């Protein structure tokens, strides 16, 4: 709550000194219009302009289909994970394995190195993986079902009190 009050007071101070700062920051929040892709290219001339815009040749450029998802003229790049790129190439941003004006994939967050991406073929077929998974799950379920009726706790005797029949202690008021 204190941070909220401090923020409101700070905004009031800024707007008193120079109100244009506050209005500019509010007006320009979020996405920039330059980040938005253009409309889907209809003619060959529009395709060439879009390819040039994204730094691709016309042979490499293929836009996403116009299915209403809003990709517009953004190029459909191959689904190659970052792990498959050459680790020894002198990238401009080596931690991201990309250069300055490289066009990003539309699903960059999915294909980045901190996500799953199989850069090489798997060791076994998917049928083998599914068989192993379902076999382990079925085995666990079978063990659970089979051992359901067996007691899984340490046995204890009935409580023993001195002087049979007399109360050992009581919470009654005297």
Domain residue spans of the chain: 1-29
Nearest-angstrom CA–CA distance, 83 and 113: 6
Q: What average pLDDT does range 108-113 have in this prediction?
A: 81
Q: Which residues contact 99 (CB under 8 A, 6 or more apart)?
A: 91, 92, 93
- For 132, other C-beta atoms within 10 Å of its C-beta total 11
Tokens linked to 48: 């060439």
CB 83 within 8 A of CB 114: no
Nearest-angstrom CA–CA distance, 94 and 91: 5
Give the confidence band of 28 by pLDDT, cuts at 50, 70, 90. low
Return the higher-pLDDT residue of 117 and 135. 135
- pTM of the complete model: 0.52
152, pLDDT greater than 80: no
CB 62 within 8 A of CB 73: no
């Amino acid at each position: 709550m204190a941070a909220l009050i401090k923020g409101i007071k700070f905004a009031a101070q800024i707007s008193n000194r120079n109100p244009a700062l506050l209005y500019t920051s509010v007006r320009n929040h979020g996405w920039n219009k330059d980040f938005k892709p253009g409309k889907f290219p209809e003619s060959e001339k529009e395709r060439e302009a879009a390819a040039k815009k994204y730094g691709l040749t016309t042979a490499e450029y293929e836009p996403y289909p116009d299915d209403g998802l809003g990709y517009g003229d953004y190029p459909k790049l191959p689904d190659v994970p970052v792990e498959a790129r050459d680790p020894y190439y002198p990238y401009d941003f080596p931690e991201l394995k990309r250069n300055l004006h490289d066009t990003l994939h539309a699903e960059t967050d999915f294909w980045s190195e901190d996500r799953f991406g199989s850069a090489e073929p798997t060791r076994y077929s998917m049928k083998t993986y599914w068989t192993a998974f379902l076999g382990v799950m079925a085995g666990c379920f079978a063990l659970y079902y089979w051992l359901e009726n067996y007691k899984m706790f340490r046995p204890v005797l009935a409580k023993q009190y001195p002087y049979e029949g007399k109360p050992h202690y009581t919470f009654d008021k005297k």
